[in-house]
Amino acid sequence: MTTVAITGAGRGIGLELARQHMAAGDRVIALVRNPASADSLRELAEGSAGRLTIHAFDVADDASVKAGAAETAGEKIDILYNVAGVLGDVPPELESSDWAAWDSLFRIMVQGPLRVLQAFLPRMEAGAKVINFTSQLGASTWPYGGFYAYAAAKAALNRLMKSVATDLKDRGVIVGLVHPGYVQTDMSGPSADITPAESAEGVRKVTADWTIERSGDFLKWNGEPHAW
């Protein structure tokens, strides 16, 4: 049985990944900041016969990450999805910058995925996969302005995980960066291009096909390479 850990599993793409992996017969470790508000996830857990468990897990907090990971300490991890993220409350104007908001966003979006990986890495063997959700906004090819903090954080995540992929290659741990598409979530709204279910299905296939030779690559949800 494949064991999958998912941050941000309470809604959107994270919730769909949990749903689809459970339907496929996998063991799902669902990690959410506030389990009490994750109604849909709790319903999923109730019908899972114990294969899906929910754990309080704030990716921005060291103690929370360590405690949440420790609750499943006896289980190896085959796939870790770093999904959790925020758009942030940084003002969009060039002349206005809320540095506390910048710090908070980077703590979640850049430090968070590395913090989570550090907590679970001792339980990952050769062939395990770490799939980091990034964005087209983090690519140098993004042709628009704005979204300063969010785009900078995603660009930083891309470079960070590229380095991690290099350092973990000898251990056989595969690291991927994936743009999930423009998805109909709370962040993007209902007019986005694809549903969370479509995105999750694509990401699951891309993840299944990811090999060590492509560790560190930046791909789209449909498997196409994404320009950096």
Q: What is the pLDDT of residues 21-71, one digit of tens each?
A: 999 999 999 999 999 999 999 999 999 999 999 999 999 999 999 999 999
Count how many domains the chain has: 1
The pLDDT assigned to 181 comes to 84
In a domain, 225, yes or no: no
Indicate whether 223 pLDDT > 60: yes
pTM: 0.95
Q: For the residues 126-143, what does the mean pLDDT come to?
A: 95
In a domain, 119, yes or no: yes
Please give the structure tokens belonging to residue 207: 């993840």
**Nearest partner of 71 among 50, 59, 53, judged by Cα:** 53
Return phi, psi of residue 164, to 5°. Answer: -60, -40
The pLDDT assigned to 120 comes to 98
The pLDDT assigned to 188 comes to 56
Q: 148: domain CATH number?
A: 3.40.50.720
* 71-125 pLDDT per residue, tens: 999 999 999 999 999 988 888 778 877 899 999 999 999 999 999 999 999 999 9
In a domain, 227, yes or no: no
In a domain, 136, yes or no: yes
The pLDDT assigned to 190 comes to 66
The pLDDT assigned to 187 comes to 61
The pLDDT assigned to 80 comes to 99
Q: Which domain holds residue 215?
A: 3-220
In a domain, 105, yes or no: yes
In a domain, 88, yes or no: yes
Dist CA 221 CA 178 (whole Å): 6
Residue 24 CB neighbour total at 10 angstroms: 12
Q: Collapsing DSSP states into helix, strand and coil, what is residue 182?
A: coil
The pLDDT assigned to 186 comes to 61
In a domain, 163, yes or no: yes
Indicate whether 126 pLDDT > 80: yes
Strands 3-7 and 79-82: parallel
* 143-199 pLDDT per residue, tens: 999 899 999 999 999 999 999 999 999 999 999 999 998 777 666 556 667 888 999
In a domain, 21, yes or no: yes
